[in-house]
């Protein structure tokens, strides 16, 4: 029975027209998933995986061709691993043989609350700073401008752009100063073309101002994208999650890298492309699709079942449109409809014609009147 509405939890399902032998689709309505533990949450992980998979296959969320092939490769690995017997240690993924259940539980709790592998600076009074030579572009209407090199520093939730490193050292006035708090940081990446860029939409008096940053390689990109993402949430480079954010971005890129050595014989596994990729990629790639999925699979062939599902979920969460529900609204005093995006941590006003961000309100900055 086809129904695209949420059921009311205060009523029984029969009161809402659901009868015996009808099929119910269970989905998570909100997109904050806390404390996913492979030892206890296999069912929940599988539910989230299925929801993310169908959202991608039904084109409810957009992704690039490279990302789609990565998701297809992970799905193939999950299918292959589903046939194999799985071995999970008593205390999850990282239990040593000398720990008892209580010690392992305490270790898991500490990692959950504090984050794993936190490194502290020798001088805790020093404000962390990121410096690099990057390329910068601020598009202007009716003019063609190329990327220009600047010496970038990121400090205290701000980007400062200097014409040279020497100018920064001698405390010169920055050519540009950008407040990253409340910005939207979107990947502008094409691994095949060695393009590692960041699109920033920064709040200004006129709305959201677009700027582009171009990095030289994936490691530089990961450092700066992690800094921008944290700063957009009001968190500095001193935040304990910075290193894990960099690692997550690098892992995400690694899974998308093309390989030339498929490890699965196409004849040994019946791959129906429509079960692995969204319809628009079926039309675009046609006969090459199965081979490309098998090539991408070489990057994830080592992952066990639960790890493959967790990687799928993590990659889904890294997509720019993840967790955003759209509503057509009309703001007070306005005569035309606009698009409102609701995420777990912010509201966004979007252009209804092209989806561009016009304004962002983060929940942790809102005030109740």
Per the prediction, the chain carries an average pLDDT of 83
Same fold, 22-84+262-316 and 130-239: no
Q: Summarize pLDDT for 56-114 with one digit per residue, the tens.
A: 999 989 899 999 999 999 999 999 898 776 655 544 444 434 445 566 666 666 655 65
Q: What percent of the chain has pLDDT over 70?
A: 82
| pLDDT for the residue 97 | 41
| pLDDT for the residue 5 | 73
| pLDDT for the residue 90 | 44
How many CB atoms neighbour CB 9 within 10 A? Answer: 6
Instruction: Kindly write down the DSSP assignment for every residue of 235-247, as one continuous string.
Output: --TTSTTHHHHHH
Q: Where are the domains of the chain?
A: 22-84+262-316, 130-239, 325-365
| pLDDT for the residue 39 | 84
| pLDDT for the residue 291 | 86
| pLDDT for the residue 85 | 66
| pLDDT for the residue 57 | 94
Model pTM?
0.75
Q: Summarize pLDDT for 188-238 with one digit per residue, the tens.
A: 998 888 999 999 988 877 667 889 999 999 999 999 999 999 998 888 899
State phi, psi for 15 to the nearest 5 degrees: -65, -20
Query: 296, exposed or middle or buried, with CB in 10 Å at 0-12, 13-18, 19+?
Result: buried
SS3 assignment, position 358 = strand
pLDDT score of 284 more than 70: yes
Q: Summarize pLDDT for 142-189 with one digit per residue, the tens.
A: 566 789 999 999 998 999 999 999 998 888 899 999 999 888 899 999
| pLDDT for the residue 346 | 82
pLDDT score of 31 more than 70: yes
Residue 261 — very low, low, confident or very high, per pLDDT cuts 50/70/90? low
| pLDDT for the residue 101 | 59
Instruction: Please give the helix or strand (H or E) that residue 282 lies within, else none.
Output: helix 279-285
Look at the alpha carbons of 355, 357, 362, 366 in this order and tell me if their dihedral is positive or negative. negative
| pLDDT for the residue 242 | 93
Q: What is the CATH topology of the domain spanning 22-84+262-316?
A: Acyl-CoA Binding Protein (1.20.80)
For range 314-327, the mean pLDDT: 88
| pLDDT for the residue 177 | 93
For range 309-338, the mean pLDDT: 89
Residue 16 — very low, low, confident or very high, per pLDDT cuts 50/70/90? confident
For the domain made up of 130-239, the CATH class stated in words is: mainly beta
Residue 118 — very low, low, confident or very high, per pLDDT cuts 50/70/90? very low
For range 237-254, the mean pLDDT: 91
Residue 141 — very low, low, confident or very high, per pLDDT cuts 50/70/90? low
Give 360-363's long-range contacts (Cβ < 8 A, gap of 24+): 360/182, 360/183, 360/184, 360/201, 360/203, 360/208, 362/182, 362/233, 362/234
């Amino acid at each position: 029975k086809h129904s695209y509405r949420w059921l009311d939890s205060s009523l029984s399902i029969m009161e809402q027209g659901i009868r015996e032998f009808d099929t119910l689709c269970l989905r998570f309505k909100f997109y904050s998933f806390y404390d996913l533990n492979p030892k206890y949450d296999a069912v929940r992980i599988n539910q989230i995986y299925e929801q993310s998979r169908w959202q991608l296959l039904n084109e409810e969320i957009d992704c690039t061709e490279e990302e789609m092939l990565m998701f297809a490769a992970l799905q193939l690995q999950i299918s292959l691993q589903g046939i194999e017997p799985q071995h999970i240690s008593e205390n999850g993924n990282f239990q040593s043989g000398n720990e008892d259940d209580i010690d392992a539980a305490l270790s898991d709790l500490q990692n959950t609350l504090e984050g794993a592998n936190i490194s502290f600076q020798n001088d805790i009074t020093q404000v962390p700073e990121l410096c690099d030579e990057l390329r910068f572009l601020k598009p202007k209407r009716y003019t063609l401008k190329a990327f220009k090199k600047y010496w970038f520093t990121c400090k205290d939730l701000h980007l400062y752009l200097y014409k040279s490193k020497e100018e920064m050292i001698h405390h010169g006035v920055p050519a540009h100063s950008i407040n990253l708090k409340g910005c939207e940081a979107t990947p502008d990446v094409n691994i095949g073309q060695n393009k590692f860029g960041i699109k920033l939409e920064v709040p200004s008096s006129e709305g959201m101002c677009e700027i582009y940053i171009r990095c030289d390689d994936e490691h530089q990109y990961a450092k700066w994208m992690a800094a921008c993402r944290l700063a957009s949430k009001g968190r500095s480079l001193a935040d304990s999650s910075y290193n894990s954010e960099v690692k997550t971005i690098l892992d995400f890129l690694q899974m998308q890298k093309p390989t030339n050595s498929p490890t699965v014989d196409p004849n040994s596994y019946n791959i129906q492309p429509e079960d692995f990729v969204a319809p628009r990629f079926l039309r675009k790639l046609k006969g090459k699709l199965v081979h490309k999925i098998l090539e991408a699979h070489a990057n994830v062939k080592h992952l066990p079942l639960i790890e493959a599902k967790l990687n799928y979920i993590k990659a889904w969460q890294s997509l720019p449109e993840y967790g955003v529900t759209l509503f057509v609204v009309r703001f007070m005093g306005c005569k035309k409809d606009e698009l409102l995006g609701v995420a777990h941590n912010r509201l966004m006003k979007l252009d209804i014609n092209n989806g561009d961000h016009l304004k962002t309100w983060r929940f942790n900055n809102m005030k109740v009147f």
